[in-house]
Structure 1
Amino acid sequence: MAIRLFIDGAAGTTGLEIRERLAGRDEFALILLDDSQRKDETARRDALHAADIAILCLPDEAAKEAVRLAQGSGTRIIDASSAHRVAEGWTYGFPELIGRETIAAAQFVSNPGCYPTGFLGLVAPLVRAGLLPADWPYTVNAVSGYSGGGNTLIERFESDPDIAFRAYGLSMGHKHLPEMRKFAGLAHPPVFSPAVVPAFRGMLVDVPLPLAAIPGAGRVGKMRECLAEFAANGPLVTFAEAGSTEELLHRDEGSADDTMSLHLYANADETQVRLIARLDNLGKGASGAAIQNLNIMCGLPETTGLRLRASGSA
C-alpha cells in the first residue's frame, strides 16, 4: 500500500523541488490541495490528518501552525523550516551526524538549514574527535545562490541584474546560529558572515582556522582522516583531497545536486587551515535532505529519487 504523503507548501521553491524528486515514485500517494485550498485551515487539517507523513515547506510561523493542526493525528512530520531545529521533541534531520536509526524511529524530524549543513559537516566531526576545541570563537564565511531566500529574493535578483553581491545578517543574530552551536557542541555561537551571489543555486561554506593559535587543535593529517571517515558514513557526503589546486569554483550550472563535498586546505607549515563545504542550497541544503529523511523514515533506500551529480567537480 502506498504511503500517503502531504506536502504543505508544495507551491514554494522547496516544495516544487521535492515534488520533482518524487516524480514517478509509486511508493507514495500524494495528497494534493488546489490553489483555493492551500491556505484553508480546514483543508490543511484534513490533509495533515489523512497523511502518513507530511513535509512542511512553510515559513516558521506557518510551520508551527501546521504542527498544531496535525495534533492528535499521529502523522509523522518533516519540517523544512527553521521553526523546530532546536526544539524539544524534534530530531535533527542530518543522518550522517545524528544517525539514521534515530531518524528512522522519529515522529518529528526537522531539516537542517543549508548553511548549517556545510558548517556542521566540517566542524562537528572535528569537535567530536577532540581535534578542535568546543570553546573556540569560530568564524563562518559563506556564499549562497539567491534561491535560498525564497520567492521574494529570487524576484529581486532576477529583476535587478546589477546586484553582484549581497551581504546580510549584519545584526549578528541569524536564525541558523542556534543549530550551528547546538549540533557542533560549541560553547559560543560562531561569527557568521553569509552572502548571496547572482547564481540561482549552490553554496560554499568556509571556516578559516588559525591552527597555531587554537589551543589543543589537532594536526592537519588527523583532521583529514576524521573528515574522510565522516564522509564515508554514507553515499551523499564526500571528502575531496586538496591536491595542488589554487581555487574552488562555484559554477551556476542550474542542475540540482543532493550531495555535499568537504575540503581541507592548509598552508605549507600547517599553521593555517580553511575548511570548505560545497553543496546545493536547494539539494542537500533543503529538498534533497527532506527526501533523504523521508526515505530513511519509510525504510526505503536512502538515495532513491535524489540527484547524485559529483559535488566535488569544478
Structure 2
Amino acid sequence: MTQKVFIDGEAGTTGLQIRQRLEGRSDLELVSIDPARRRDVAARAELLNSVDAVILCLPDAAAKEAVGLISSNAVRVIDASTAHRVASGWTYGFPEMDVDQRSALRSARLVSNPGCYATGVVALMRPLTTAGLIPSDWPITVNAVSGYSGGGRSLIEEFEAPVPEGTHDAFRIYGLNLSHKHLPEMKVHGGLDHEPVFAPSVGRYAQGMIVDIPLPLWALPGKLKGSDLRAALAEAYDGERFVSVASAGESDALQQARAGAAGFSAELDPESLNGTNQLKLFVFANEERGHARLVALLDNLGKGASGAAVQNLNIMLGLNEGEGL
C-alpha cells in the first residue's frame, strides 16, 4: 500500500534533499501544499492530518507550531529541527544508537532527527560511556568542521556570492558564545553528565563534516589503549549498514602517512562521504604519549540530516530501511 508523506518546509536545504531521496519511489506518495495556501493555517492543518507521515524541515518555533496543528494520532512525525531532540515523549532518530533503538522507532509516533554535529559525537561517545570506558562526568572537548551548507540559506548565499557581496573566507570558527544548539543532545544521548566544550567551524566547501574528540588516555581510569576504544566502537556497530569503524590497520596507515600522501586526503577528506548516508568512525592513538583522537566522518546533509530522516521514515513505516539511500 502506498503511504502518503508531506515534507513541511520542502523548499529548504534539508527538505529539498529529502524530497530528492524520496521522489520516484513506488511505496510512497509525496504530497505538497498549494503555495498560495502555505500561510493558511486551516489548509496546513488539514494536510498535516491527512497523511501517514510528516517530515518537518522548519525553524524550531515553526516546527512546534506544526506539531500543535496535528490532532490525528495516526500521523507519524519526524522533526528535523532542534525543537524536540531532548523533549519528553520524542524518540531520538539515531537507529544505531542502542540495540533497541530501531524497535523504539518502529513504534514511535514522534521522532526527532539528530543534529549533524551531534550525530558524530553521539556515535563516538555513547558506546564508550555505556561500556564505562569513559566516565560520564569526563570533561569532553569536541572540534568539528562542516561545509557551509550546514549554516542554511544565508550562509550558503554568503559563501557562494562573489566578493564583495559574499565572503572570501577559507575557514571560519563560530559558536563563540559556547551555547550551540546541538549541545543538549550531545550530552543526553552521548551519555554525558555535562555538555562538552564545543568548537565548531565552517570551511569553504558546500557539504561534508569531520567531528574530532581528543582524549588524554593517560588521565582516563583503566589505563586505556586505542585498541580498547576501537574494539568497543566496533562491537557497538557490528553489522550496521550505515555506520562503520575503521580497522586498526587502516587507522595506522593514515597515522603514518605524510600530509598530502596518497590515501590520506581521500580517507579523511570531509567531502568523501557526500551524497551517502554513511558515517565512518576512526580511532587514532599514540600509546607512548597517552593521547588519542576519536574522529567521525559524515555528510552533514546525509547521515547528518536528510539521509537520517529517510532512514527513520523507512523504519517507522515498516519499509526497507535502506530504500532511497
What displacement does 1:146 show? 0.7
Residue segments in structure 2 that go unaligned for 5+ positions in a row: 256-263
1:192 aligned counterpart, secondary structure: strand
**Aligned counterpart, 2:9:** 9
The verdict on how the C-alpha distance between 1:67 and 1:232 changes in structure 2, with shifts beyond 3 A counting, is same
**Aligned counterpart, 1:77:** 77
List aligned pairs for 1:40-51, cutoff 5 A: 40-51=40-51
1:187-217 Cα offsets, whole Å, 9 max, x none, are 1110000001011000000000011012346
The verdict on how the C-alpha distance between 1:276 and 1:51 changes in structure 2, with shifts beyond 3 A counting, is same
2:268 aligned counterpart, secondary structure: coil
1:285 alignment partner, one of 297, 304, 308: 304
Contact 2:225 2:287 in 1 (8 A): no
Residue identity opposite 2:214 in structure 1: P
Aligned positions, number: 306
**Aligned counterpart, 1:312:** none
List aligned pairs for 1:170-249, cutoff 5 A: 170-216=176-222, 218-241=224-247, 242-246=251-255, 247=264, 249=268
Residue segments in structure 1 that go unaligned for 5+ positions in a row: 307-314
Residue identity opposite 1:154 in structure 2: I
Aligned equivalents of 1:226, 1:253: Cα separation in 2: 25
Residue identity opposite 2:183 in structure 1: L
Residue identity opposite 1:172 in structure 2: L
| Identical positions, percent | 53
The verdict on how the C-alpha distance between 1:156 and 1:217 changes in structure 2, with shifts beyond 3 A counting, is farther
What displacement does 1:253 show? 6.7
What displacement does 1:254 show? 9.3
Aligned equivalents of 1:264, 1:253: Cα separation in 2: 18
Residue identity opposite 2:104 in structure 1: T
What displacement does 1:255 show? 4.6
Aligned equivalents of 1:148, 1:201: Cα separation in 2: 7
What displacement does 1:269 show? 2.3
Q: CA RMSD in A?
A: 1.6
What TM-score do you get using the length of structure 2 for normalisation? 0.90
1:164-196 Cα offsets, whole Å, 9 max, x none, are 112111111111110000011211110000001
**Aligned counterpart, 1:267:** 286
Contact 1:115 1:142 in 2 (8 A): yes
**Aligned counterpart, 1:150:** 152
1:130 alignment partner, one of 129, 132, 135: 132
2:174 alignment partner, one of 163, 168, 173: 168
- Runs of 4+ off more than 4 Å: 251-255
Contact 1:133 1:216 in 2 (8 A): no
**Aligned counterpart, 1:139:** 141
Contact 1:263 1:276 in 2 (8 A): yes
**Aligned counterpart, 2:258:** none
The verdict on how the C-alpha distance between 1:166 and 1:40 changes in structure 2, with shifts beyond 3 A counting, is farther
What displacement does 1:73 show? 4.8
Aligned equivalents of 1:252, 1:225: Cα separation in 2: 26
What displacement does 1:257 show? 1.5
The verdict on how the C-alpha distance between 1:133 and 1:232 changes in structure 2, with shifts beyond 3 A counting, is same
1:109-156 Cα offsets, whole Å, 9 max, x none, are 000000000011111101101111111110000000011111111001
